[in-house]
Structure formats: structure tokens, C-alpha cells
Amino acid sequence: MRTLIVLPTYDEAENIVEVLQRVREAAPTADVLVVDDSSPDGTADIAKRAGYELGQVEVLVRPERSGLGSAYRAGFVEGLARGYEVLVEMDSDLSHDPVSLPGLVAAVAAGADLAIGSRYVCGGSILHWPPHRRWLSRWGNRYAARVLRLDLADATSGFRAYSAQALERLQLDTLTAAGYGFQIEMAYRVDRGGGRIVELPIEFVDRERGHSKMSLAIAAEAIVLVTWWGLGDRLRRLSGRC
Ligand SMILES: Nc1nc2c(ncn2[C@@H]2O[C@H](COP(=O)(O)OP(=O)(O)O)[C@@H](O)[C@H]2O)c(=O)[nH]1
Ligand SMILES: [Mg+2]
């Protein structure tokens, strides 16, 4: 199936070359779109040079830092316009091992609307993450699953593959989360639209180079949005609309 791997980058100069090389090894026929928000460390130019050598890599440079969710939306809009059948999300810091790519794409080819690389299903794991990140991720996931009635172990994972039909159905221009709440919002929309979601185990490894862009403001945005969506669901149920 025609596959596009979207790689959002902000200051990933130390990682992007190895990411692109390993993606090419693991998924030789897939195309790659790097979405860079004018990283001050020159990630875009490094990605362009590496992409020129590897082939099938394009770099979309946006004028300013606009958040992970917004970067993925831009990548998906481009990918859908170009007729890709599977669209993949993956971090550009080597936390997500490209060896899992074929499995995620195969799950979509077999009929899933969304295949999530999950740290919290049997066989999944996290290496080297500090305790506060583990705690935030685990409890963030439990909170989102409960409030939104999602039967998912890892709705916040950023390593996943979508079918083009699923993305078209969920109307990307109506998404609201700018940061990491985006992952939850996408899973929630696919689920509410009756889409089929599968979770496959992955090993997540904390980045060794560069630094995380996760912040308190980004975590707070996700918690506020999840609560807001959950309240909306309850009100709709109470008023008998669903
Ligand atoms: N284009 C773009 N990429 C971003 C932005 N924020 C984070 N990223 C990228 O999104 C991915 C995940 O971010 P990261 O900082 O590793 O988050 P963490 O793994 O949750 O600590 C990495 O590839 C980042 O470079 C942003 O505002 N714009
Ligand atoms: Mg990371």
C-alpha cells in the first residue's frame, strides 16, 4: 500500500539522519515527509541533505513553531492530497524503533483504521524514562480512557498508522489540540466514528540526544481538552442525543 511516514521535527539535528537511515532500512518502499518548524538548530537542512542521498524524502518547512498536532495535520493534509493509502506518525528522536513500521502498516492493510504502537499492552515496554514521565503517561492514559470511554491502553502513543479513509472521515480541519492531546483526540475521533483500532506492542526508548519538548502547558492542554470532550459526551448522553 502507498505509505507516507510523517516525521515532525523541532531541534532534532542530532537525531534526524539516523532516523531517516533506519526508516529507509525498515520501510524501503515508503515515502517520508519531514515537517520541520524552522528549527533553530538547522534540522531542516540536515534532513534535506540526508533525504537527497536516501531518496523518497521530502522536507516541509513551516515558518514558526506551531506544535506537534499542527505539524501532523499539515503532513496528513499533504499526504491525503497526494493519494497515500497509509499515513504513519513517528517521533524523530529514535524513541520509536522503525523496525515496528512494517507491523503497523500491515495492520492497516489488514483492515484496521488505526494501528497504535502501544507501550501498555502485553509485550510493550518503556526503557530509560524518568519516573515522572512514566507516571504522567500511565495516569494520563488511564484518565483519558475512563473519561472518554476508550478501550485503549495507550491513546497517547505517537507511533501509529492510519488508513487514508479514516483520516478523511475525521475531518482534520476540525481538530482542536495543538500539542500532545492531539494523539488522544485522533484516537477518540476514530473510535467515535466507528473505526477499528488495534494496538501492537512496541518498545519505547527515551531519547539519548536532544531534549524533550513536552512541557507543563502541553500536558495541561491535554488534560483540559480530555475533560471538556468527556463532559460534552455526558451532556449528549443525558440529552438523549447519543
Ligand atoms: N514540527 C514540530 N515538531 C515538534 C514540535 N514539538 C515536538 N515536535 C517533535 O515531535 C516529536 C515528539 O516530541 P518530543 O520532544 O520527543 O516529546 P516526548 O517524546 O513526549 O518527550 C519529536 O520528533 C519532536 O521533534 C513542534 O512544535 N513542531
Ligand atoms: Mg520523544
129, 207 contact by CB (below 8 A): no
CA 6/CA 18 separation, integer angstroms: 15
Helix (H) or strand (E) holding 29: none
Ligand closest in space to the Cα of 137:
1
Q: How confident is the model at residue 239 (pLDDT cuts 50, 70, 90)?
A: confident
Above 70 in pLDDT, residue 233?
A: yes
Contacts of 91 (CB under 8 A, 6+ apart): 7, 8, 158, 159
Place of cell 510523517: 6
Q: 29 C-alpha to center of ligand 2: Å?
A: 25
pLDDT-wise least confident of 54-58, 102-106, 236-240: 236-240
Residue 240 has what pLDDT?
81
| Mean pLDDT (whole number) for 15-31 | 98
pLDDT tens profile 70-83: 999 999 999 999 99
Residue 242 has what pLDDT?
63
Ligand closest in space to the Cα of 11:
1
Evaluate: CB of 218 within 6 angstroms of ligand 1: no
Q: How confident is the model at residue 85 (pLDDT cuts 50, 70, 90)?
A: very high
Evaluate: CB of 89 within 6 angstroms of ligand 1: no
**Cα torsion at 64, 60, 24, 30 (round to 10°)?**
130
Residue 5 has what pLDDT?
98
Residue 137 has what pLDDT?
93
Evaluate: CB of 91 within 6 angstroms of ligand 1: yes
Q: Supply the pTM of this predicted model.
A: 0.96
Share of the chain above pLDDT 90, in %: 90
pLDDT tens profile 139-153: 999 999 999 999 999
pLDDT tens profile 97-154: 999 999 999 999 999 999 999 999 999 999 999 999 999 999 999 999 999 999 999 9
Ligand 1 atom 14: residue of nearest CA: 212
170 closest CA partner among 182, 184, 186: 186
pLDDT, mean over the chain: 95
